[in-house]
């Protein structure tokens, strides 16, 4: 941020703002558009694509950005951008095709749609920021590989917990520590929450009810930690992670892990329910230089051997513009997979399932997700939750059973399934 704000101010002064194309005008998209419009010099939201045009128009109005032009073709989109007018469209392909847009951001949380617009971005040489951990956790490794080959930036986002963890990870490493645990702080974990139980909360905060349900049933935190694992090489200690409940301070967690086990595993991703301060992230790390230990104790980080570092907040759409600036101005990423999948998110039955039943995705009534190491996913033939939508159960399944490919009839002609199959072929199991 110390570099980014200065660089953006220079773009503003030069009259050359970074022009951003946004996919998604839900609660997070609306917040992002308002943030860029009113608080980020040197950057403009040039166009918004949303399947419901009224929501895209309303997002611009909410931000006080003026009345947008509704466009249906690239020529009209480019004309609006060139004239400095905001534009909205229900044709997502236009954003990737426009040469006047510098960077794209996906704020949809959809796997199939997210995969499609990602491929379009890569094909058109566009940098893309993902506020869509769902697609990243499912087919992120193959998409990032394609982006690398095309020479474009494809990155997770600052402000969401994975991006905050990656920034903390880089900072801790840069100080000479060895990160051993990257963790997420959560306030609730109930695998059996559904859109019905979460409807009131969703309405209170103007949130998508299925997104809220994925928070409550634990799928979202497993998705987030999967993305972090793939960007660091860390693993999960067990399926679904440790997921301890603890109401003390996050600093106390240094005594809750076996350092020898952490060293053997290389590092783990995890989450803890209820510690203070929240809802942030933490990194537990060791310092290999014994000459530094007294200094660390002097600076009030404790006696070791694990030391606690944390960020007590994550401010999703407030920080997301930083990632765009990092990508466009510095060729930097908030985080991306090192290579093939290290961890994936698999589907478990949220209730007893009946043969013939069609599965939903994240935040639905019949599955929840848990993070599992990629080697086990492959050897046990486990079904990724991101690919569950449209799969039909071929036998009765008891609640809490981890689903396998043999349990379902899958729509393998869908893009996300094809990309996942390519990902499996491209990378050997971690």
Q: What dihedral angle (degrees, nearest 10) is formed by the CA atoms of 64, 66, 67, 70?
A: -100
CA distances (Å), 69 to each of 97, 98, 210, 376, in order? 17, 15, 30, 50
Structure confidence at residue 1 (pLDDT): 57
Structural domains in the chain (count): 3
Asked if the structure places residue 336 within a domain, the reply is no
CB 53 within 8 A of CB 70: yes
284 and 171, same structural domain?
yes
| pLDDT tens string 227-280 | 999 999 999 999 999 989 999 999 999 999 999 999 999 999 999 999 999 899
Q: Which domain holds residue 26?
A: 2-159+317-330
226 and 95, same structural domain?
no
* Residue 356: Cβ within 10 Å count: 11
Which of 171, 153, 220, 167 lies closest to 193, judged by CA?
220
**Model's pTM, two decimal places?**
0.96
Please report, rounded to a whole number, the percentage of residues in the chain having pLDDT higher than 70: 99
* Residue 34: Cβ within 10 Å count: 18
Structure confidence at residue 429 (pLDDT): 54
367 and 378, same structural domain?
yes
Structure confidence at residue 397 (pLDDT): 98
| pLDDT tens string 299-311 | 999 999 999 999 9
- Tell which phi-psi region holds residue 354, choosing left (phi > 0), alpha (psi between -120 and 50) or beta: beta
What CATH number does residue 102 fall under? 3.40.50.720
pLDDT greater than 80 at residue 191? yes
* Residue 120: Cβ within 10 Å count: 18
Cα(144)–Cα(129) distance, rounded to whole angstroms? 11
* Residue 219: Cβ within 10 Å count: 31
140 and 166, same structural domain?
no
Cα(387)–Cα(114) distance, rounded to whole angstroms? 13
Packing angle of the helix pair 219-232, 133-150 (nearest 10 deg): 30
């Amino acid at each position: 941020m110390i570099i980014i704000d200065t660089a953006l101010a220079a773009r503003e002064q030069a009259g050359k703002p970074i022009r951003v194309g946004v996919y998604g005008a839900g609660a997070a998209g609306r917040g992002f558009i308002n943030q860029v419009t009113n608080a980020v010099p040197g950057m403009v939201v040039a166009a918004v694509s949303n399947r419901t045009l009224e929501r895209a128009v309303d997002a611009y109005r909410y931000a006080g950005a003026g009345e947008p032009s509704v466009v249906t073709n690239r020529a009209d989109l480019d004309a609006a951008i060139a004239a400095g007018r905001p534009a909205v469209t229900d044709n997502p392909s236009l954003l990737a095709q426009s040469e006047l847009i510098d960077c794209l951001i996906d704020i949809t949380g959809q796997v199939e749609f997210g995969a499609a617009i990602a491929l379009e971005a890569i094909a058109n040489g566009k940098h893309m920021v993902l506020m869509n951990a769902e697609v990243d956790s499912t087919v992120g490794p193959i998409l990032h590989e394609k982006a690398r080959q095309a020479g474009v930036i494809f990155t997770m986002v600052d402000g969401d917990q994975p991006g905050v963890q990656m920034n903390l990870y880089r900072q801790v490493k840069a100080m000479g520590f060895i990160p051993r645990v990257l963790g997420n702080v959560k306030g609730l974990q109930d695998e059996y929450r559904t859109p019905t139980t979460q409807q009131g909360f969703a309405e209170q905060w103007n949130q998508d009810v299925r997104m809220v349900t994925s928070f409550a049933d634990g799928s979202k935190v497993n998705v987030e930690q999967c993305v972090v694992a793939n960007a660091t090489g860390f693993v999960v200690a067990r399926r679904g992670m440790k997921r301890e409940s603890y109401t003390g301070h996050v600093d106390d967690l240094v005594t809750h892990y076996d350092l020898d086990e952490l060293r053997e595993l290389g590092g783990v991703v995890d989450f803890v329910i209820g510690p203070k301060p929240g809802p942030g992230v933490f990194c537990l790390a060791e310092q290999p230089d014994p000459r530094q230990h007294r200094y660390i104790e002097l600076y009030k980080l404790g006696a070791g051997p694990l030391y606690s570092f944390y960020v007590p907040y994550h401010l999703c759409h407030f920080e997301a513009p930083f990632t765009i600036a990092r990508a466009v101005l510095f060729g930097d990423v908030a985080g991306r997979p090192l290579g093939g999948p290290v961890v994936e998110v698999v589907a478990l039955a949220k209730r007893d399932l009946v043969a013939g039943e069609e599965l939903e995705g994240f935040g639905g009534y019949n599955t929840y997700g848990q993070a599992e190491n990629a080697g086990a996913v492959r050897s046990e033939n486990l079904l990724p939750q991101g690919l569950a939508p449209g799969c039909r159960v071929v036998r009765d399944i008891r609640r809490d059973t981890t689903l396998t490919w043999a349990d379902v009839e899958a729509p393998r002609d869908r893009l996300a399934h094809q990309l996942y199959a390519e990902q499996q072929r491209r990378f050997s199991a971690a």
